[in-house]
Structure 1
Amino acid sequence: MGATNSKETNCKLDFQIDPTKMNIVDASRLYYREKVLPVEQALNLDIIYGPPMCDAEFGSPPLLLFLGPFSSGKTTMIRYMLNMDYPGMSIGPEPSTDRDWVILWGPKSQAVSMHTVVHDSSFPYQEIYRFGGEYLNKCSAAYCPCDLLLNMIIVDTPGIMATDKMNTVRYYDRDAVIRYWIEKADRIVVVFDVFKLDISEDMKELVNIISPYEYKCLIVLNKADQISMIQLHRAQDALTWSLGRSFKCRDLPFVHVGSFWDQPIKDNAMRNMFVSYEAKLLEQINRMNTDVHVRRFNEVIQRAKMAQAHALISRYLVGRYKPEQTMHRSFQKTLAERLNKGIYRKLIRKHKLLECDLPSAYMVYKHVTSEYYDISKTRVSRQLMETLNNFIKNDLNQLAKLLPAELAKENYGAEMLHQPQQEQIRKQSNWNVVKQAAKENNWHQKFLSLKPKRGLLSWGQMKLLLNMTGLSINTLTHIWSLVDRNKDGRVNEYEFYLINWLIRSVMRGQQLPDELPKLLRPPELHGKTCPTKKGIRQKKFNARKLKVKQKTPST
């Protein structure tokens, strides 16, 4: 935050902006940099409203922010979405994430210190250096070769803990950091553990910070498959009621329930409900790619109107107060009375402003009493004001016309994020994966326990085992038809492995293919029988007999 020493700051455009020859990203960047930013810098508005927008921010992917109590499953949910671990990731029942992680796309997996990343001109959040070196020590960037990260940036944060503020020492302003990420986020996923519904004082403070941005929030009740249906409904109602009071809104927040990890759902009766909630959640996340342009356009408008209001107030206050008067205790009250009773009314009437476009009296007081502000000097020149007013009155209309065309140019987010495991059956799995799963789960002994006849099992022999899975008869029939290729109603041991693997895949939320991929097909053993217990014993006996015979000397 540098002080502006000159009495006036002038801005002269070297070219005429033609928005019809640009897209919404380039036009917004140029308009903001040439017509809004000079006024913000002249008034040092970053003192009270945070850092300005940088060039890289306009063209960057949307930001998905994860917040919530510790051990609620935030990092696990990110891994579930990415289908991979990000470098530096830590998961555990204790508070394991000790820093903010900014997860971006990169050609190889690597973790990079934020001290380095903030100097990269392509990094959209360079302004976090303003929070100081202590915060940069507690923030890192994780680069992953995951295609999902081409369409979004994810921020993973440490869990909110119930701490004693008197004994907790932080060398940076954590609330300001969280507020910064919340303002920049296009969606905020607030994750709660189904077993930890009590909202601590620190969590309430977080909710208060989030409240103005409630429209961005997606509430998730995680680990929901570990309790019964009745308990889940009670937990969902309790969380909805608590958040409704905390958000202080008329409409109750919608709570998505599910179990966002790579393990099978424990209660199959709740599977369809979880799939439905997950589809709604992913749909909201996918919409970020269209909403991001609207959000940035609105942010430019907001910043322009706030800069205009502060510039008008600044010009009005020049000469009416001396710098030493701002040090008096009564100045805040006097300024508030003058603003609310006189100045604001004149500005609304003369410049046709809306009351909602004017800052609060406290924000004006905070601004003019800053060490970087001199209330006795004019901060914004007439030329700067004319440029800004022209942007608000005329250029915004031209810029707004680009928005529908940009959104219709391509179907943003159509193939962006699906239920994370759906495509694995077809693309990433092969027979070796099935064979390894059979070894880990001892499916060979399970096969033998069903007493196969000549190394083959029928549907009747497997009926009890299949019914215990909890899957519908249609799903089980489809799995059987995929595996039993010669349609004789019997499967060998390798095909038995494949049936078990497909059942486990469906229970993890994957979709069955219409036709079994070639890579998943077991070796051609259907014409041959797999070895039974009796066959294995006979084979071992014959081998020992042959060995003894070879050792016996001939007479």
Structure 2
Amino acid sequence: MVIWSQRQRADTLSTNDTEKTIKKEMDVNVIDGLKWLYESRVLPLERHYLFDEFHSPPLEASYFEAKPSILMVGQYSTGKTTFIKYLLEKEYPGMRIGPEPTTDRFIAVMHNSIDGLIPGNALVIDADKQFRQLAKFGNPFLNRLQISETDSQVLESLSFIDTPGILSGEKQRTDRGYDFTGVLQWFAERVDRIVLMFDANKLDISDEMKSAIEALRGHDDKMRIILNKADSVTPNQLMRVYGALMWSLAKVLRMPEAVRVYIGSFWDRPLEYDYNRRLFETEEQELFNDLMTLPKNARLRLLNDLIKRTQSAKVHALVVSELRRHMPLVLNKKNKQKELIQRLGAIYNDIRHRYGVPISDFPDVESMQQKLKDVDFNRFHSYSKTLFAQIDQMMARDVPKLMAQIVSEQMSAPVDQLTVRGGRFDVLNREPFGYLKGEGMDAGSDGADWIVSKDRHIYDKAFATLSPINGKISSVRVKAEMIRSKLPTSVLSKIYRLSDVDGDGLLDGDEYALAMHLMAIKLDGYDLPLQLPTHLIPPSKRDTKL
């Protein structure tokens, strides 16, 4: 095990407002280091300033130990449940698929060698699971919560949170009986990816969907958008649908840059319109490549989220301590409290100028004002130099150490622990239907004949017109021919380098034919490799090249 050496507090003595800390060295791995940082540095600040009453409950050890997870969010019948089935390549207990709202509960799909369901009320008393804090949402929610356990290799690396279909139209008037957006926000703070799913046949973003997206704000780095069932519309319709989705998302997400939208059809039905098959396959590959990095980046995500939480707790503590500073000692406390709530925006500005806090780091003014109405300001504490100094020390010293340790653990960990195996993730590389198998640069990899020979008669005629000397042509003559393709100079330079197999700066007939073949591949929309694959090396040069 790779070790991160850091100090853990053993005891604390206070004398004349000065804390003397007795520390001992302790060797821990990254997960233990994250837990120690939170429990010894961040949690004391949160408790002192009542952070959990305003924002998020304290993190438990099971949060740091959980597998990477993916939260599925979308209106009903967009394909959230089908997407999970598609990845696992199997059904799981409690799964229901249909055109109307069928997933009416939050289902955590997790690994177990035996299939089964665990109801919500039993789930929240299990200290080994990361869901105990969900008990605060009450029995109406717990009756809509369960774990679905099944034996899938994919689930050895990832877990999925399937959510109820978000309602639209008249269905929005249905009262769920619990704080739906609050539950979404709880999960969003703890998962590694948030997948927003949209149906190419219905793009109406309902009021409940807007509220759900609002609850996910602040986690834009985790968010991935999928335009699903894209094969069910014509190519022209797909372009219009894609544009409409981008326009709608820009208004709802309020993000300055365009979001990444993956286009595809994540089910096992025949494609209705297969004109964009290659596009769908490319988008699927890129999405799956992103999901396959989750185990590798899980600790980095935990550290990133801990930093975000620390900053949020620090800003909250500054606000609370500033409110406490303005409170009178004895008289007129209630009126002063009302006045401070009304002046909260101005107090934010004072803190921003005094401590250099970005305005975007403050909680929403109206939301905070509403929460402050129900709190007695006498419970607030004044500014604690010790607690804030611990946070500053953590950010300046402990976080960089832990960051370096994460990189070290990634480099030493077995490859199988850093990616996702099984299910659809393995299909991507299976012969002969793996991604781009037998296409582009891979064409001809399974045959005995050199794939370039197929069009060699065309290339030979063009080669002869360039007046070769001793069977070779110069780079100047080749350049004049290659630029007619209208490919960028950087691409043509790469093609020439790959084609000059013997590295003499000239191209013979085989190498010229190879260059023309690589140009045709690039013009067809495929990428070029960094090195020439073995099957594309001209047979006459394979002995010397290999």
Query: Do the aligned partners of residues 314 and 219 (structure 1) sit closer, same or farther apart at CA in structure 2, a change above 3 Å counting?
Result: closer
Deviates more, 1:321-330 or 1:267-276: 321-330
Instruction: Give 1:177's aligned amino acid.
Output: V
CA shift for structure 1 position 232: 2.3
Q: How does 1:39-438 map to 2 (within 5 A)?
A: 39-163=45-169, 167-318=173-324, 320-322=326-328, 324-325=333-334, 329-340=338-349, 342-348=350-356, 359=363, 365=369, 368-371=372-375, 373-375=376-378, 378=381, 383-410=386-413, 411=415, 413-416=418-421, 419=424, 422=427
- In the TM superposition, what whole-angstrom CA distance separates every residue of 1:149-206 from its partner, at most 9, and x where no partner exists? 1111101111111255994323321111111222222111111112112222222333
Distance 2:291 2:265 in 1: 17
Instruction: Give 2:133's aligned amino acid.
Output: E
Distance 2:312 2:19 in 1: 18
Verify the 8 A CA contact 1:98 1:138 in the aligned structure 2.
Answer: yes
Distance 1:188 1:122 in 2: 23
Distance 1:293 1:141 in 2: 24
Could you state the TM-score of these two structures normalised by the residue count of structure 1?
0.67
* SS across alignment from 2:427: coil
Verify the 8 A CA contact 2:172 2:208 in the aligned structure 1.
Answer: no
* SS across alignment from 1:102: strand
Distance 2:348 2:426 in 1: 58
Distance 2:379 2:200 in 1: 57
Distance 1:254 1:166 in 2: 28
1:30 corresponds in structure 2 to 36
Distance 1:168 1:99 in 2: 14
CA shift for structure 1 position 104: 0.8
Instruction: Give 1:394's aligned amino acid.
Output: R
Distance 1:242 1:377 in 2: 42
Distance 1:169 1:12 in 2: 54
Verify the 8 A CA contact 2:49 2:380 in the aligned structure 1.
Answer: no
- Consecutive unaligned residues in structure 2, runs of 5 or more: 1-17, 432-437, 447-546
Instruction: Give 2:298's aligned amino acid.
Output: V
Query: Do the aligned partners of residues 366 and 46 (structure 1) sit closer, same or farther apart at CA in structure 2, a change above 3 Å counting?
Result: farther
CA shift for structure 1 position 81: 0.6
CA shift for structure 1 position 138: 0.9
Query: Do the aligned partners of residues 369 and 223 (structure 1) sit closer, same or farther apart at CA in structure 2, a change above 3 Å counting?
Result: same
1:433 corresponds in structure 2 to none
Distance 2:176 2:19 in 1: 40
* SS across alignment from 2:102: coil
Highest Rg: 1 or 2? 1
Could you state the TM-score of these two structures normalised by the residue count of structure 2?
0.68
CA shift for structure 1 position 420: 5.1
Distance 1:325 1:409 in 2: 59
* SS across alignment from 2:82: helix
Identity %, equivalent residues: 27
Deviates more, 1:311-320 or 1:115-124: 311-320
* SS across alignment from 2:40: helix
Instruction: Give 2:222's aligned amino acid.
Output: K
Distance 2:263 2:77 in 1: 16
- In the TM superposition, what whole-angstrom CA distance separates every residue of 1:393-446 from its partner, at most 9, and x where no partner exists? 4322322221221232334544536635728989xxxxxxxxxxxxxxxxxxxx
CA shift for structure 1 position 359: 4.9
* SS across alignment from 1:212: coil
Distance 1:178 1:158 in 2: 10
1:432 corresponds in structure 2 to none
Q: Number of matched residues?
A: 418
Verify the 8 A CA contact 2:81 2:97 in the aligned structure 1.
Answer: yes
Query: Do the aligned partners of residues 364 and 262 (structure 1) sit closer, same or farther apart at CA in structure 2, a change above 3 Å counting?
Result: closer
CA shift for structure 1 position 99: 0.5
CA shift for structure 1 position 301: 1.9
Query: Do the aligned partners of residues 88 and 11 (structure 1) sit closer, same or farther apart at CA in structure 2, a change above 3 Å counting?
Result: farther
Distance 1:338 1:394 in 2: 30
Distance 1:209 1:385 in 2: 29
* SS across alignment from 2:70: strand
Distance 1:297 1:339 in 2: 27
Query: Do the aligned partners of residues 35 and 259 (structure 1) sit closer, same or farther apart at CA in structure 2, a change above 3 Å counting?
Result: same
Verify the 8 A CA contact 2:83 2:267 in the aligned structure 1.
Answer: yes
2:24 corresponds in structure 1 to 16
- In the TM superposition, what whole-angstrom CA distance separates every residue of 1:197-222 from its partner, at most 9, and x where no partner exists? 22222223333333432332222122
Instruction: Give 1:400's aligned amino acid.
Output: M
CA shift for structure 1 position 89: 0.6
Question: More strand by proportion, 1 or 2?
Answer: 2
Query: Do the aligned partners of residues 75 and 356 (structure 1) sit closer, same or farther apart at CA in structure 2, a change above 3 Å counting?
Result: closer
Instruction: Give 2:227's aligned amino acid.
Output: L
- In the TM superposition, what whole-angstrom CA distance separates every residue of 1:71-106 from its partner, at most 9, and x where no partner exists? 111111111111111101101111111101011111
CA shift for structure 1 position 54: 1.0
Verify the 8 A CA contact 2:88 2:154 in the aligned structure 1.
Answer: yes
Task: Give the RMSD, CA atoms, in angstroms.
Answer: 3.6
Instruction: Give 1:337's aligned amino acid.
Output: A
Verify the 8 A CA contact 1:244 1:252 in the aligned structure 2.
Answer: yes
Instruction: Give 1:32's aligned amino acid.
Output: Y
Verify the 8 A CA contact 2:93 2:149 in the aligned structure 1.
Answer: yes
- In the TM superposition, what whole-angstrom CA distance separates every residue of 1:319-338 from its partner, at most 9, and x where no partner exists? 53158426865442234334
1:485 corresponds in structure 2 to none
- In the TM superposition, what whole-angstrom CA distance separates every residue of 1:14-73 from its partner, at most 9, and x where no partner exists? 85354xx32221101111112211221232211221122110111211111111111111
Distance 1:251 1:309 in 2: 26
Distance 1:238 1:250 in 2: 17
CA shift for structure 1 position 376: 6.0
CA shift for structure 1 position 268: 4.2
* SS across alignment from 1:143: strand
* SS across alignment from 1:375: helix
Verify the 8 A CA contact 2:322 2:383 in the aligned structure 1.
Answer: no
Verify the 8 A CA contact 2:48 2:381 in the aligned structure 1.
Answer: no
Query: Do the aligned partners of residues 251 and 12 (structure 1) sit closer, same or farther apart at CA in structure 2, a change above 3 Å counting?
Result: same
Verify the 8 A CA contact 1:99 1:157 in the aligned structure 2.
Answer: yes
* SS across alignment from 2:126: coil
* SS across alignment from 1:256: strand
Distance 1:321 1:165 in 2: 47
Instruction: Give 1:90's aligned amino acid.
Output: R
Instruction: Give 1:115's aligned amino acid.
Output: N
